[in-house]
Amino acid sequence: MGKKRRKFSDKFKAKIALEAVRGVKTLTELAAEHQVHPNQISKWKKQLLENASELFSNGSGSSVKSEDEVTAPLYEEIGRLKMDIKWLEKKALSLPAVKRRNWIRPERNYSIRRQCRLASVSRSVIYYKPVPESGENLRFMRLIDEQYLRHPEFGSPRMTDKLREQGYSVNHKRTARLMRKMGLQAITPGPHTSKPARKHRIYPYLLRDVEIKNVNQVWSADITYIPMRCGFMYLAAVIDWRSRYVLAWELSVVPPL
């Protein structure tokens, strides 16, 4: 016995055809969701756009409007939907790429490819897994940090020479990359260090021409870190400018990675 042919109501056809016209989901996604062949949805969509005045009519003899009168509101709605989609795309593209990458979720109904296209994010960024630094590079970074505490004026060339004197085979390119990753730079005058940026606000120095005579008149705070055998210890202190007395201090231990 042959398989019984399914029958769809006019309301169901109109709903599916309108969803296909809006373009929120692809024909394949609509077919999988409603258990309808994609060719059938494409046919309903074509009928909706070409002959909206007599779409899925049941021959009730109701008055028939002209094609322009029936299709004009439909195309107006489609135009508004397209304008809304363009506005949302423009709004989304104004956000940072890091935030847009967080929108991608593999567990969602949409594929990764479609999510990346909607968020204007490259798929290679989603699939990329950063490679951690090797144990050898971590050891070099620790040695560079120790040397930098002793000689903050060392750049990558002199830092490379120091590592080679200790018996490590390393070139200046590798040292420069590790120092750049650690945020270390030789303490030397750079170009235009005394030339302020025009867009930066200049804050007034509130202690200028202020004579500090009394205790508890001016306090200042500072923070530094102390390298240990395993990890670091961060030291924060508050000092009185007149007596040079340490009013308060706190240590924070950071475990090694």
Cα atoms in the Cβ-side hemisphere of radius 13 Å centred on 51: 8
* Pairing between β-strand 219-227 and β-strand 232-240 as defined by DSSP bridges: antiparallel
Q: Which residue has the higher pLDDT, 59 or 234?
A: 234
Q: Looking at the structure, do residues 150 and 246 belong to the same domain, yes or no?
A: no
Residues 90 and 167 in one domain: no
Q: Per the structure, how many domains does the chain have?
A: 3
Residues 106 and 28 in one domain: yes
pLDDT at 256 over 60: no
Whether residue 190 lies inside any domain: the answer is: no
Mean pLDDT of 46-57: 61
Residues of the domain holding 225: 205-257
Q: Do residues 212 and 219 touch, judged by C-beta distance below 8 A?
A: no
The per-type count for the chain, helices as H runs and strands as E runs, is 10, 3
Residue 45 in domain: yes
Going through the chain in order, the beta strands assigned E by DSSP cover 219-227, 232-240, 246-254
Name, in order, each residue with C-beta under 8 angstroms of 30's C-beta and a sequence gap of 6 or more: 16, 19, 20, 36, 38, 41
Q: Which pTM value belongs to this model?
A: 0.39
Structure tokens at 181: 């990753």
What is the Rg, in whole angstroms, of the alpha carbon atoms belonging to the chain? 34
Rounded to 5°, the CA angle 186-189-190 comes to 90
Residues 103 and 162 reside in one and the same domain? no
- Spatial distance between the Cα atoms of 159 and 230, rounded to a whole number of angstroms: 23
DSSP assignment of 167-198 equals T----HHHHHHHHHHHT----S--TTTT---T
Do residues 175 and 211 both lie within one domain? no
Taking only the tens place, the pLDDT of each residue in 175-229 is 999 999 998 988 876 666 667 777 888 888 888 888 999 999 999 999 988 887 7
144 and 226 share one domain: no
29 and 105: one domain? Answer: yes
Which range of 38-47, 145-154, 180-189 scores highest in mean pLDDT? It is 145-154
Would residue 195 count as lying in a domain? Answer: no
Tokens coding 27: 């024909």
